[in-house]
């Protein structure tokens, strides 16, 4: 069976359980309805008790928030709505004192239209050095009134916006693969390369342990900016994704990360956000001297089906010969897992969200499967990502009133795509009604997105004492995972099973150890006789493992 290399002292990420913290929706310390660093600091003991090893923060930088902080106007500071740089420094130190590492998001593909460089580019005019840091081009048509090419934005509409020049005349166009407020940087510009290398050093020097690289395959473009046939949104064959020159950038970033790795807090890690379905192309990013890991989106997108999951798991482990595997069930861009698994089609695809939202959701079934998936995921070799609220069993909020929706995808597709607000609703901590302890008592504002009333049963307080809650399952699983040397990175061996069942052993020497059995079939299955049950995602029935249930066993 495929197996990953032995972890070295510097490779904490090979086995880590990493909590994705979406600051805006985690906890609001000052009562303005928006999560902030004070809220995070107050709840670090919650995260320590959950048993995670690291936190990945979504962007916390100054931003006009046209795309919830993915439009950055200053890469070396903290947005005032979240707090201050001094608070971030304190948070990093406090997290380290709890034994928790910090990963931050860096967004190199694009900045904000309010970034000083973009403002300078607008002011400096066509042909200037300032404009060469972005993709400015004259338009087509007799008067430059048509975009330079037919590329579409990933958020809907054209990928080009026309500017007004300083003299008031209609001017050049600039490229934005996402919202118009997110102009793409030109990575052929040495200024851009040097700037981001310095940003990396800035945060590593402050004690940050890892960088999550946003839109990591998109940075380099074909400078001839050719039309695409069919004007499809970005796919692997599109000229603006996955180009060879991007690897040179990550080789230099890796050298920077390594240069900080001997310091007090150990290795510094790079993880890429890359939505490439092609495992071989994905593998290039984790080749020698490049990124340490990439997100495993084929696993996230996979339906709740034993055959399909086994195929993705095997492909992932084959890829991980040079890099540790990662396992991820959800994040801030995709529908929440209990909703996905409660639909007739349990797969997911970012580009077809309206199709998935048309299915009715069976929440009890989805929750049952999400519990089983959590134990399956946490038993696999490598590191695991947990998106905040997944540990509470929160569902996708699909009925947010239109006038309260915030995601630019909603507006740019004219409501055809509901966007990602439904997985970003603020966490419920305590109490019987909104804001469920997300904001302090007497807060001046409501949470920035409305919380469902029914989340009263899923608050951290309600879940904490409840042996059947998702939170109790996550706490138990993370505790066992951390205290069992067989789990995390290392070898795994598939075991023969009935159709629709996944069973594998985690044993360092091929014998003894732990067995994970996930029953995705419609019938109960027997468990091995010579094994003690450590944890199951639901009760056994007459000694059998029921459908949509996973068990962890210690082999005798
Ligand atoms: C990927 C991020 O995950 C997503 O939330 C964001 O909107 C886009 N990149 C644009 O930055
Ligand atoms: Ca706040």
pLDDT, tens only, 472-528? 999 999 999 999 999 999 999 999 999 999 999 998 765 679 999 999 999 999 999
In this predicted structure, what is the pLDDT of residue 498?
95
Q: Which residues pair with 18 in a beta bridge?
A: 54, 385
For a substitution probing ligand 1, which of 20, 66, 70 has the most ligand atoms within 8 Å of its CB?
Answer: 70
For the sheet with 210-213, list strands across it: 293-294, 269-272, 210-213, 101-106, 54-57, 17-21, 383-387, 326-328
pLDDT tens for residues 371-409?
999 999 999 999 999 999 999 999 999 999 999 999 999
Point out the ligand nearest to the CA of residue 30.
2
Q: Both tokens of residue 499?
A: 């159709």
In this predicted structure, what is the pLDDT of residue 321?
64
Annotated active-site residue 391? The verdict is no
Phi, psi of 373 (to 5 degrees): -65, -35
Give dist(CA 235, CA 21) in Å, integer: 28
Element (H, E) at 515: strand 514-519
Radius of gyration in angstroms for the set of CA atoms belonging to the chain, rounded to a whole number: 24
Q: How far is the CA of 40 from the centre of ligand 1 (A)?
A: 22
Average pLDDT of span 276-285: 83
From 67, 71, 273, 396, the catalytic residue? 273
Res. 240: pLDDT tops 90: no
Res. 1: pLDDT tops 50: no
The CA-based angle 253-255-257, given to 5 degrees, is: 70
Among protein residues, the one with the nearest Cα to ligand 1's atom 6 is 70
Measured from the CA of 332, which atom of ligand 1 is nearest?
5
In this predicted structure, what is the pLDDT of residue 3?
38
From 214, 242, 489, 548, the catalytic residue? 214
Q: How far is the CA of 381 from the centre of ligand 1 (A)?
A: 27
Measured from the CA of 71, which atom of ligand 1 is nearest?
11
In this predicted structure, what is the pLDDT of residue 282?
86
Ligand 1 binding pocket, CB closer than 6 Å: 67, 70, 107, 178, 214-215, 273, 332-333
How would residue 5 be classed by pLDDT, with cut points 50, 70 and 90?
very low
pLDDT tens for residues 184-218?
999 999 999 999 999 999 999 999 999 999 999 99
The residues placing their C-beta within 5 Å of ligand 2, an ion, are 28, 30, 32, 34, 36
Measured from the CA of 333, which atom of ligand 1 is nearest?
5
Q: How far is the CA of 405 from the centre of ligand 1 (A)?
A: 17
pLDDT tens for residues 63-97?
999 999 999 999 999 999 999 999 999 999 999 99
Give dist(CA 88, CA 77) in Å, integer: 9
327 close to 299: Cβ distance less than 8 angstroms: yes
Res. 232: pLDDT tops 90: no
Q: How far is the CA of 271 from the centre of ligand 1 (A)?
A: 15
Measured from the CA of 177, which atom of ligand 1 is nearest?
10
In this predicted structure, what is the pLDDT of residue 270?
97
Res. 242: pLDDT tops 90: no
For a substitution probing ligand 1, which of 57, 68, 215, 276 has the most ligand atoms within 8 Å of its CB?
Answer: 215
DSSP-derived secondary structure letter, 146: B
Point out the ligand nearest to the CA of residue 29.
2
Q: With the CA atoms of 383, 389, 390 and 392 taken in that order, what torsion angle do they form, in degrees rounded to the nearest 10?
A: 120
Point out the ligand nearest to the CA of residue 56.
1
The pTM for the full model equals: 0.96
How would residue 275 be classed by pLDDT, with cut points 50, 70 and 90?
confident
Q: How far is the CA of 435 from the centre of ligand 2 (A)?
A: 13
Q: Both tokens of residue 70?
A: 């993915």
Q: Both tokens of residue 387?
A: 């998106």
Give dist(CA 285, CA 533) in Å, integer: 39
Point out the ligand nearest to the CA of residue 444.
2
Annotated active-site residue 290? The verdict is no
127 close to 73: Cβ distance less than 8 angstroms: no
Q: How far is the CA of 331 from the centre of ligand 1 (A)?
A: 11
Res. 2: pLDDT tops 70: no
Give dist(CA 303, CA 341) in Å, integer: 8
Percent of the chain scored above 90 by pLDDT?
A: 87
Q: How far is CA 33 from each of CA 27, 80, 421, 425, rounded to the nearest angstrom?
A: 9, 14, 15, 11
As a whole number, the mean pLDDT across the chain is 94
Query: Long-range contacts: 524-533, Cβ < 8 Å, 24+?
Result: 525/497, 525/498, 525/501, 527/551, 527/553, 528/553, 528/555, 530/555, 530/556, 531/555, 531/556, 532/556
Q: How far is the CA of 468 from the centre of ligand 1 (A)?
A: 34
């Amino acid at each position: 069976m495929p197996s990953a290399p032995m972890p070295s002292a510097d490779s904490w990420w090979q086995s880590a359980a990493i909590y994705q913290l979406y600051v805006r929706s985690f906890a609001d310390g000052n009562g303005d309805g928006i999560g902030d660093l004070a809220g995070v600091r107050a709840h670090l003991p919650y995260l320590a008790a959950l048993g995670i090893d690291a936190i990945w923060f979504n962007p916390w930088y100054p931003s006009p928030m046209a795309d919830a902080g993915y439009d950055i106007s200053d890469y070396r500071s903290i947005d005032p709505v979240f707090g201050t740089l001094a608070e971030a420094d304190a948070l990093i130190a406090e997290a380290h004192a709890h034994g928790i590492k910090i990963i931050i998001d860096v967004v190199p593909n694009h900045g904000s239209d309010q970034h000083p460089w973009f403002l300078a580019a607008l002011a400096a005019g066509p042909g200037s050095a300032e404009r060469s840091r972005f993709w400015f081009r004259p338009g087509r048509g007799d008067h430059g009134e048509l975009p330079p090419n037919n590329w579409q934005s990933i958020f809907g509409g054209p990928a080009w916006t026309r500017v007004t020049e300083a003299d008031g005349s209609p001017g050049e166009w600039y490229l934005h693969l996402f919202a118009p407020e997110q102009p793409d940087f030109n990575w052929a510009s040495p200024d851009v390369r040097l700037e981001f290398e310095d940003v990396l050093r800035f945060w590593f020097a402050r004690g940050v342990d890892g960088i999550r690289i946003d839109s990591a395959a998109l940075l380099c473009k074909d400078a001839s900016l050719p039309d695409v046939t069919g004007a499809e949104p970005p796919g692997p064959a599109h000229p603006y994704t996955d180009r060879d020159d991007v690897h040179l950038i990550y080789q230099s970033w890796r050298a920077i990360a390594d240069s900080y790795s001997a310091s007090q807090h150990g290795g510094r890690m790079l993880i890429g956000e890359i939505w490439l379905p092609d495992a071989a192309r994905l593998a290039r990013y984790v080749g020698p001297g490049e990124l340490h890991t990439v997100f495993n989106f084929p696993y996230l997108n996979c339906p709740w089906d034993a055959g399909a999951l086994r195929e993705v798991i095997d492909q992932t482990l084959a890829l991980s010969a040079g890099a540790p595997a990662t396992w991820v069930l959800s994040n801030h861009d995709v529908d929440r897992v209990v909703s996905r698994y409660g639909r007739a089609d349990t797969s997911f695809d970012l580009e077809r969200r309206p199709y998935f939202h048309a299915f009715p959701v069976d929440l009890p079934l989805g929750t049952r499967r999400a519990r089983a998936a959590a134990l399956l995921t946490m038993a696999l070799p490598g590191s695991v990502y947990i998106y905040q609220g997944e540990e509470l069993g929160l569902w996708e909020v699909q009925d947010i009133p239109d006038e309260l929706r915030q995601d630019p995808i909603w507006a740019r597709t004219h409501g055809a795509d509901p966007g990602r607000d439904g997985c970003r609703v603020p966490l419920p901590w305590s109490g019987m009604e909104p804001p469920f302890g997300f904001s302090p008592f007497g807060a001046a504002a409501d949470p920035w997105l409305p919380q469902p009333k029914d989340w009263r049963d899923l608050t951290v307080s309600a879940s904490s004492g409840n042996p059947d809650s998702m939170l109790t399952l996550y706490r138990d699983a993370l505790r066992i995972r951390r205290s069992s040397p067989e789990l995390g990175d290392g070898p795994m061996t598939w075991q023969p099973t009935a159709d629709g069942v996944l069973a594998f052993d985690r044993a360092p020497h091929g014998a003894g150890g732990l067995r994970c059995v996930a029953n995705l079939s419609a019938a109960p299955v027997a468990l091995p006789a010579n094994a003690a049950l450590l944890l199951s995602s639901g009760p056994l029935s007459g000694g059998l493992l029921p459908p949509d249930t996973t068990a962890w066993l210690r082999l005798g």
